[in-house]
Amino acid sequence: MTILAGNRNSGKTTELIKMCYKDNGTFVCVKMNDKKFIQTKSKKMNMPLSKVITVQELMDKKYQFNHNESFYFDNVEYILMSLLGNINTEAMTITI
């Protein structure tokens, strides 16, 4: 697993799009607006992503996936907030 960390507008999402495109993975974002933005951005980069879904679509099982599929999660802190409510997350750990 790769962790991309940086400030806002530092290129994290752009790099994630590149990784997802190269691997033909599934890009997961928070909201439908984010989904549309990612689809447009990836096309402008000449790296159109074939699978962009929201976390809600994943949770509602509106998207069928296989267990060998690679997922690329954008803005995990916002995904946590969408799942747990508007909580103030000060820190987190992750095992890679």
76 within some domain: yes
Model confidence at 25: pLDDT above 80: yes
The encoded tokens of residue 66 equal: 């296989």
Residues facing 59 on adjacent strands:
none
Contacting residues for 39 by C-beta, under 8 A, at least 6 apart: 48, 49, 52
16: containing domain: 12-84
The number of folded domains in the chain is 1
Between CA 50 and CA 89 the distance in angstroms is 32
The encoded tokens of residue 33 equal: 């607006």
Q: 31-88, pLDDT tens digit by residue?
A: 999 999 999 999 999 999 999 999 999 888 777 777 788 999 999 888 888 888 878 8
The encoded tokens of residue 40 equal: 């447009």
Sign of CA dihedral 40, 8, 34, 79: positive
27 within some domain: yes
